[in-house]
Structure 1
Amino acid sequence: MENFYILDTTLRDGEQTPGVNFTLEEKLEIAKMLDKAGVKVIEAGIPAMGQQEIEVIKKMNCLGLKCELLTWNRLSKSDIEKSLETGVKNIHIGVPTSDIHIYNKLKKTRKWLIETLKDVVNYAIHKGCKVSVGAEDASRTDMDFLIEFYKTAEELGVSRVRYADTVGALDPFGVYENIKKIRSEINIEIDFHGHNDFGMATANALAACRAGAKYISATINGIGERAGNTSLEEIVASLKYIGKYKTDFDMKQIPVLSKYVEKASGIKLSKNKPLVGEAVFSHESGIHVDGLLKDRRTYEFIDPTEIGRESKFVLGKTSGKASVRNAMKELGMKLDDDKISQILERVRKGESLEKKKEPLKKLKYRVVGIFSGEIKLPFIFP
């Protein structure tokens, strides 16, 4: 039995990132890749957006995926009808629950919200739908009213409720307390949907899981509105390797998913993006390389090969003798300490020259190789 499930919303909330617009082919490919990786639920899109979105979800529904497809809807019977056109009867209804949203955006009341929830959920269930209900802006919703909202949804027969930290307003301590309180009041599953406005989406999702939320909404590479959503790769790895949670997620699919979505979305990843960034398993510091050569665990908490990555040693200004010696070994050369020291000195000088933007051709050495496919300078040898 898995301890948590990923509800991926790359194709819904992720596509709400300004400038991101996946093609039909990209959406279908992402869906297949998520299914292969072991995602439990894919939030496929918003049918109410129009016929084009409906057709995409129809095609997705014909892929024969093992995971569940989920459509996103407003608190509206017309949205439910649009979802039914896709052939997907697993629907999510997003409901604004904070007073900021109820009174200022909807211009309604809490009483109206509860009564409309009953009407729309009953309508969807009568149509044969499996329904989940989400509290939008739950983190700024009065807790007593939020629990009333969730209890009403539970009594109506929904399968799951969502707690959305819509503007990333919480820290892990607040998330833990809130989810723990809600968990003590209802018996159905809880889905935590976090945003990264203050850089705490992954930590908040981890806290939510600790408190009893079994479903975690996430997006590949953490894409999404504003600062993005909980990053799928970060939360899966955090729960598995730090939290010691059980999961059937195929960790080796993480870099595959990340690279594909990076290209399809047009959002370039930073080199130090946790787990998937180009440089996160690269080591230059002499102290680090020396430690890694003796025991990988000294400076790598997880074996990068478990998530389809590999370590790289990079020669540069902060390199030490162990780095150079290992580089020479890779090139099939065995040199004494004096020669190693000479090479290290030239590597460091070369690094300084590079930073001054002086042409590398001024270095009067010949290139003999490149170490592990990544290096800051040509590897030089007298």
Structure 2
Amino acid sequence: MGNTLNKSVFIGDTTLRDGEQTAGVVFSAREKIAIARALDAMGVHELECGIPAMGKEEQAAIRSLVNLGLSARLITWNRAVISDIDASIACGIEAVDISLTVSDLMIRNKIDKSREWVKEQLKRSLGYCKDHGLYVSVGGEDASRADIGFLIELMGIAAEMGADRFRFCDTLGILDPFTMFEKVRLLTSAVPALEIEVHTHNDLGMATANAVAGVKAGATYVSTTVNGLGERAGNAALEEVVMALKVACGVDLGIDTRRLSSVSRMVGKASNRDVPAWKAVVGEKVFSHESGLHADGVLKNPSNYEGFRPEEVGLKRHIVAGKHSGTNGIVESYRQIGIPLSREEANLLIARVRSTAQKLKRPLEKSELLSLHETLGCRGLVAA
């Protein structure tokens, strides 16, 4: 893939809309406010905050977010119909996504219409939005399976009528990063006047990779959710996309990444979905080191085995004592609990640590390390 990162890139987070569409997830109005404030404080550029057409309760929650006066732009999801747009306007919203079904498969099997009907729906709804002074993202549902010529035609209409961007949706999460790159690059070249957003799903485990590929191809907006919440296998995870662009692509989005782990846990609690300890970027154990060579390398210089510092995402490094620990790792594990060891003492303990970890099938906890230390008759100072 070539690299065309010559434009600013923005995050359009949809935790409060697509994230809440995760089967079984419901955010209270108070939780929505807390999540919105946290994302805004972090510097996320845009929040897709709900679907006004769902009814009065949803509308009240959206109005409460509008009244917060956040720096992030608030945008709502709408079908490309006038009644949905009116519901958004009534909430005080100034930016909307109007969603169109764009693949022939869905046009035929879902809505039982034609391409001509879709084009007229776009013209009617987009014209209405622009008559009301709205910022408009035209959402292409199932764009990844749509005819590329038809997408170009729709984007051309949208650009001529003043749309602000086009949302390229990999609705079923079926693309690979190379195909994503090719499609987005073709669309950006064909309709340069219209910015593109990539909205990727994780059904094949490639949502983050596809999001990054879309950005490298010229997309300027990326749709994410905290912890990768979303329909089925979820969406591209905010924390993964932000750090992938920063570390792998050298693109700093201006987001305070030190807040990523705390926001992740907030959303995990609100969604009743615990964040796995091994979750990429924000899992509590992703900066834990046990293997002798790795622990030794990290202790000498963290950059030996860490692509970025744990502090960058609000986490801490841990050296754990287990089956694969080496001498330096044992010394550090005991130092962490307040016991200084000599190398000789560590060499005496290492076999017992490994044997105990083998029996327990896990790393050793503080009490177990203390117990092993006492069996040697050592006398270290233990921190309170």
CA shift, 1:8, in A, is 0.3
- The answer for the alignment partner of 1:347 in structure 2 is 353
In structure 1, distance between residues paired with 2:262 and 2:340: 37
Letter in 1 for 2:299: L
CA shift, 1:353, in A, is 2.6
CA shift, 1:176, in A, is 0.5
CA shift, 1:336, in A, is 4.0
Of the three residues 281, 288, 313, the one matched with 1:282 is 288
- The answer for the alignment partner of 2:321 in structure 1 is 315
Of the three residues 109, 114, 119, the one matched with 1:114 is 119
In structure 2, distance between residues paired with 1:54 and 1:210: 36
- The answer for the alignment partner of 2:209 in structure 1 is 203
- The answer for the alignment partner of 1:244 in structure 2 is 250
CA change 1:378–1:194 in 2 (3 A) is farther
Of the three residues 141, 149, 158, the one matched with 1:153 is 158
> Could you report, residue by residue, the CA deviation over 1:179-214 in whole angstroms, capped at 9, with x for unpaired residues?
000001111211100000000000001110000001
1:298-309 alignment, distance < 5 Å: 298-309=304-315
In structure 1, distance between residues paired with 2:93 and 2:44: 17
- The answer for the alignment partner of 1:364 in structure 2 is none
CA contact (8 A) 2:96 2:134 kept: yes
CA shift, 1:268, in A, is 1.8
Partner SS state of residue 112, structure 1: helix
> Could you report, residue by residue, the CA deviation over 1:273-319 in whole angstroms, capped at 9, with x for unpaired residues?
10111210001111111111111111111111111111100101111
Letter in 2 for 1:292: V
CA contact (8 A) 1:2 1:247 kept: no
* Higher mean C-alpha displacement, 161-170 vs 331-340: 331-340
CA change 1:274–1:19 in 2 (3 A) is same
CA change 1:339–1:183 in 2 (3 A) is same
- The answer for the alignment partner of 1:363 in structure 2 is none
CA contact (8 A) 1:2 1:248 kept: no
In structure 1, distance between residues paired with 2:337 and 2:48: 49
CA shift, 1:330, in A, is 4.1
CA contact (8 A) 2:155 2:194 kept: no
1:51-90 alignment, distance < 5 Å: 51-90=56-95
2:24 aligned with 1:32: no
2:372 aligned with 1:380: yes
Partner SS state of residue 95, structure 1: strand
CA shift, 1:380, in A, is 2.4
- The answer for the alignment partner of 1:6 in structure 2 is 11
CA contact (8 A) 2:284 2:315 kept: no
> Could you report, residue by residue, the CA deviation over 1:142-192 in whole angstroms, capped at 9, with x for unpaired residues?
000011011111111111110000001100000100000000111121110
Q: Percent identity?
A: 44
CA contact (8 A) 2:107 2:114 kept: yes
CA shift, 1:379, in A, is 6.1
Question: For structure 2, which runs of at least 5 residues remain unmatched after alignment?
Answer: 1-5, 376-384
- The answer for the alignment partner of 1:173 in structure 2 is 178
CA RMSD of aligned residues (A): 1.8
In structure 2, distance between residues paired with 1:86 and 1:276: 34
CA change 1:376–1:162 in 2 (3 A) is farther
Question: For structure 1, which runs of at least 5 residues remain unmatched after alignment?
Answer: 361-368
In structure 2, distance between residues paired with 1:202 and 1:335: 43
CA change 1:283–1:92 in 2 (3 A) is same
In structure 2, distance between residues paired with 1:266 and 1:39: 23
